[in-house]
A = this chain, B = another copy of it.
């Protein structure tokens, strides 16, 4: 366990329930970060500072994977389960609903939608979140449902 234990504490599988909500804070999307991400990972004209981006989309739109990465940052910083080690297994229903552009501010909210014990490993449960990301106008830009391994509370 690293840092901040006293502040955040640890929450285990037994400590969370469907309906639990966690604020994820906000992040501003910058043009430099959009272009750097797209150059490294999604080099398509609409995500780069190109004539096509300006002509077709009125400017750069962020890579959907960049938006997802920015949301992951907010989730990691919010630490909804404290210091407990949470391992992502996958994601259902990822939707990019509106374009994200430089200058937008993204607001992230998390809700637990299901919890179930793991059938294969008695030390873990599986927790599914619904993560909703909105822009500064309140428009939903992305939704997704990651599900994760969460340790069960250790028996003393």
- Give complex CA distance A151, B64 in Å: 19
Complex interface: chain B residues within 8 A of A41 (CB): 69-70, 72-73, 76
Please classify how large the interface on chain A is, using the bins under 10, 10 to 19, 20 to 34, 35 or more.
20 to 34
Within the oligomer, what is the number of copies of this chain?
Answer: 2
**CB of A23 within 8 Å of the partner chain:** no
Instruction: Kindly provide the distance from the CB of A43 to the nearest chain B CB, expressed in whole angstroms.
Output: 5
Complex interface: chain B residues within 8 A of A104 (CB): none
Instruction: Kindly provide the distance from the CB of A70 to the nearest chain B CB, expressed in whole angstroms.
Output: 7
Among the listed B46, B77, B86, B87, which residue makes an inter-chain contact with A43, where contact means beta carbons less than 8 Å apart?
B77
A90-B93, A91-B91, A94-B91 given; A73·B42 CB < 8 A: yes
Instruction: Kindly provide the distance from the CB of A46 to the nearest chain B CB, expressed in whole angstroms.
Output: 7
**CB of A85 within 8 Å of the partner chain:** yes
- Quick check: A94 and B85 within 8 Å, CB to CB? no
Q: What are 12 contact pairs spanning A and B, CB under 8 A?
A: A40-B69, A41-B76, A42-B76, A43-B76, A43-B77, A45-B85, A46-B85, A63-B72, A65-B72, A90-B94, A90-B96, A92-B93
